[in-house]
Structure 1
Amino acid sequence: MTDGASTIQSVDRALTVLALLAKHGELGVTEIAALLAVHKSTAFRLVSTLERHELAEQHADRGKYRLGVGVLQLAGAITARLDIVQRSRAVTRRLADELGETVNITVLSGHDALYLDQASGTAALQGHNWVGRRIPLHATSNGKVHLAHVSADRFAELTAAPLHRFTDRTLTDARRLRAEVEAVRRDGYAVAADELEIGLTAVAAPIAGPDGEVAGSVSASGPTFRIPAERVPEVAAKVVDAARQISRRLGWHGLPKPS
């Protein structure tokens, strides 16, 4: 068996162990080995690895293994994302109707912004469904919001690779981008006009979670001719208000904490 195949088999077995612990509640190494049809030493290595990552834990009295707190942490991350979608939906629908444009909810995911939900207004572009899409941080209003609320070290990490130029308006210089996101932090909203696509303008604001940390962003986007520079302050005020409403629904009643 090649190293790659062996690694895949180990991952598959570890995931199976998690499923078995979820099903049975508690299992000993001998029981796990029997259910997996592997040697006891292999089963021990698997649960030991899971234990190091807090995905499994050993009961002190009985010596059996059960699911660990790491599983709750992973589940909590998914629950938090679902919570943002559920608690923001009424606000985003209302904002989309008011502006007539597309309204999106995003979260920071790795080196991208991930779109979780979308509401379309009466004048919104058809066939532009962003849900599930990952988009670059430096060329979008949502992305700039996320960049504005990470630490200096995280910002450097997220902008270390060459920044791709999508249009002649895209910011590809990290120093200029840093100056812009500092303005985003100061003003409370971000704008991207013709930076990801020519003819598309978006305005975004940060959503604070119950601890005051930025948990996501909300944006309104539409054709640049419908959101020209002179209309941006009006749209921004409505987007910022929507972000605050969503933050209150998530349990935060102040402004997002500075990074």
Structure 2
Amino acid sequence: MSATSGAGVGTVQSVHRAVRVLEVLAHEGECGVTQVAAELGVHKSTAFRLLAALEAGDLVEQSAERGKYRLGVGILRLAGATTARLDVVQEARPLARELARQLEETVNIAVLHDGAALYLDQLAGASVLPSHNWVGQRIPLHATSNGKVLLSGLSAEQIRQVVGGRLRAYTPTTVTNVRQLLKEVEQVRVDGYAVVVDELEVGLTAVAAPLHNAHGDVIASLSVSGPSFRFDPGSIDVAVDRLVATAQEVSSRLGWRDRTA
């Protein structure tokens, strides 16, 4: 085994042990170094290093009784981020289901995650052709309507950082120039929605609109997608109207108020 691979194994082991520390504290409430070491089956010095690393990230904290550790406020921050996503899905799903029924196409909910659009939920319409299940998958931001809507919540500099310098061409119509992408994202901000035809896959059309929180931030994207042959200009207009209305209703349920209306 090489030194590099050995270090990798050690890192993974440390991660597993750190997770185990959090589980122990969640179960016990408060623990000292000795108890944590016993629970993990490691030396006290190892347990102390793990607790110190977690404390530096606010994931654990020392209680008033020094030497005792408990879960820290960092856990609440992480849990809050997860709860926010669950809130979006919970509020959006009934309306998204109705939208899918009306348009007889697939409706997706996506969020920005690690430089991509992460699909959280999907509601299938009654179309003849079954749709690919995107839930849990990450797709490129520059080649999708959801992605462009999510980018519309960022500044130009943030967009450049997120997408990088080279944009992959998935089809002949994929936008591969960052400057052109910035122009399209700006148009999304003006229009309040994005339309993408054949950019991720030839034959796939999608329209998307932003979901806002109470502060007006773009926290997610709601989209309708299906085969391009079913999306003529008239169908796209209908889809956009109903999609935008649905997205605004979901945003309203999340506390957003459209001050431009």
Match of 2:110 in 1: 106
Q: Are 1:81 and 2:85 matched, yes or no?
A: yes
Structure 2 partner of 1:222: 226
Query: Would you say 1:181 and 2:185 are equivalent positions?
Result: yes
Alignment check: 8 A CA contact 1:208 1:255 kept? no
Q: Find the counterpart in structure 2 of residue 237 from structure 1.
A: 241
Residue 37 (structure 2) pairs with residue 33 (structure 1): yes
Cα distance, 1:151 vs structure 2: 2.3
Letter of the 2:64 counterpart: A
Segment of structure 1 superposing worse, 20-29 or 54-63: 54-63
Q: Distance in 1 between matches of 2:73 and 2:9?
A: 29
The one-letter amino acid paired with 1:71 is: I
TM-score, normalization: structure 2?
0.93
How do residues 1-259 of structure 1 correspond to structure 2 at under 5 angstroms? 2-123=6-127, 125-254=129-258
Query: Aligned letter for 1:166?
Result: Y
On the 8 A contact 1:102/1:125 being kept in 2, the answer is no
Deviation at 1:161, TM superposition (A): 3.9
Give SS of 1:253's match: coil
Aligned residue pairs, count:
256
Segments of 5+ residues of structure 1 without an aligned counterpart are: none
**Deviation beyond 6 Å, 4+ runs, structure 1:** none
RMSD in angstroms over aligned alpha carbons? 1.7
Unaligned runs of 5+ in 2: none
Q: Is the 8 A contact 2:142 2:167 kept in 1?
A: yes
Contact 2:165 2:178 (C-alpha < 8 Å) held by counterparts:
no
- 1:102 and 1:124 in contact (8 A); partners too: no
Secondary structure, aligned partner of 1:225: helix
Cα deviation, residue 205, structure 1: 0.3
Give deviations 1:214-235, integer Å, cap 9, x for gaps. Answer: 1101011122222123432322
Q: Report the TM-score when normalising by structure 1.
A: 0.94
User: Could you tell me how far apart the structure 2 residues matched to 1:61 and 1:132 are?
Assistant: 43
CA distance in 2, matches of 1:127, 1:144: 21
Point out the more displaced range, 58-67 or 176-185: 58-67
Deviation at 1:11? 1.2
Cα distance in 1 between the residues matched to 2:129 and 2:89? 21
Percent of aligned pairs sharing the same letter: 54
> Post-superposition shift, 1:36?
1.9
